[in-house]
Amino acid sequence: MGFSRLLDRRVIPLIDEIHRDIEDDVQDLKEYKVTNAIWMIIIIGFASLIYSFFVFRLHKMEAMWGPIPVVLPTFVGLGILAWFIPRTRWFQTQIYTPMWIFLIPTIGFILTIGLGLTKTENLGVLSTTRQETVGYNYNQYTGIILHEVSGIGNWVYDLDIPDCDGDACAVLLVIGLIILTFILVIGSAMIPHFWLLSGSILLGIMVLIAIHDLRIRRLTEKED
């Protein structure tokens, strides 16, 4: 009884909300109209399949930075992203995201996977039936990562985030996205297993942009 009531209060309204969000996009597909939001979903689908193949084929879920599993900071980063982005003013706006902005993390994702695989992985294991051991200097990279994470933590703690609104804020957000993408791509080319974290963050950003555009269309048409 308690579980059924929980479904009635929480899950069913969420499912109804998702259905209303994608209802107009389903109608577009029936009319053979491919909107930017639909293209985003298609790109995310292909990216997720390719990303998942390499993650599981190269056993990245078992990868370690010294004593730290790589999936731990990856999940933390995704958690922060999922908590922070929906609370931004951009996510609450009813203005479509230009496709070229979506392409920034998309191109970064492609570069992250490409450079991460070619620069830090033994791709010979892809043609074998058994995973081979790849030698990494874990101590060196773990020390660098822990030092940088510690510095970022202090910086975030002391940071006083100002209110952000208007066109100037939009420009700053785009610049911030470009800088973040650049850092993630460079890290993937230099640090073993870093492409797991980078790819997850960039793919998460792509998903949030697509969700934003799927949500605002119904809201905009409702006002009209």
pLDDT at 154: 47
pLDDT at 14: 53
Specify the higher pLDDT residue, 135 or 105: 105
Amino acid at 136: Y
Q: Give the tens place of pLDDT for each residue, 44-73.
A: 999 999 999 999 988 888 888 888 899 999
For the entire predicted model, the pTM comes to: 0.73
With b meaning 16 or more CB within 10 Å and e meaning fewer, what string describes 56-78?
eebebeebebeeeebbebbeebb
Q: At residue 204, does pLDDT exceed 50?
A: yes
Residue range 85-92: average pLDDT?
A: 81
| Cβ-based neighbours of 113, under 8 Å, separated by 6 or more | 50, 51, 54, 188, 195, 199
With b meaning 16 or more CB within 10 Å and e meaning fewer, what string describes 157-173?
eeeeeeeeeeeeebeee
Q: What is the mean pLDDT of the chain?
A: 75
pLDDT at 88: 79
Q: At residue 20, does pLDDT exceed 50?
A: yes
Query: 110-124, 153-167, 199-213: which range is least confident on average?
Result: 153-167
